[in-house]
Amino acid sequence: YIKDWNVAIEYNGDLFHANPKKYNKNDEPIPGSDTKAYKIWEKDNKKIKTINKERNINIIIIWESELPSYEELLKKVYEKR
């Protein structure tokens, strides 16, 4: 969280957050769990919307498989501030 700019960076693992570029909505990405990908997405979206609405914090989602360079990340943060 960058307090001065009111921007948070959320780092999502592809497996536990069911990266939509890797999983279909009815996939069960987490071994030993019967949780569908769309349920994970719903939970994550609810969390993001709640943080944004209640705290007015802009959130940047970074996926494990799409980790940006330092320069790219700074650009994303600057655009969200």
Q: What pTM, to 2 d.p., does this model score?
A: 0.86
Q: Would you give the DSSP letter of residue 68?
A: P
Residue 68 CA to residue 55 CA, distance in Å, equals: 26
Q: Where are the beta strands (DSSP E) in the chain?
A: 7-12, 58-63
Residue 78 CA to residue 81 CA, distance in Å, equals: 5
pLDDT of 80 > 90? The answer is no
pLDDT per residue as tens digits for the range 17-54: 999 999 999 999 999 999 999 999 999 999 999 999 99
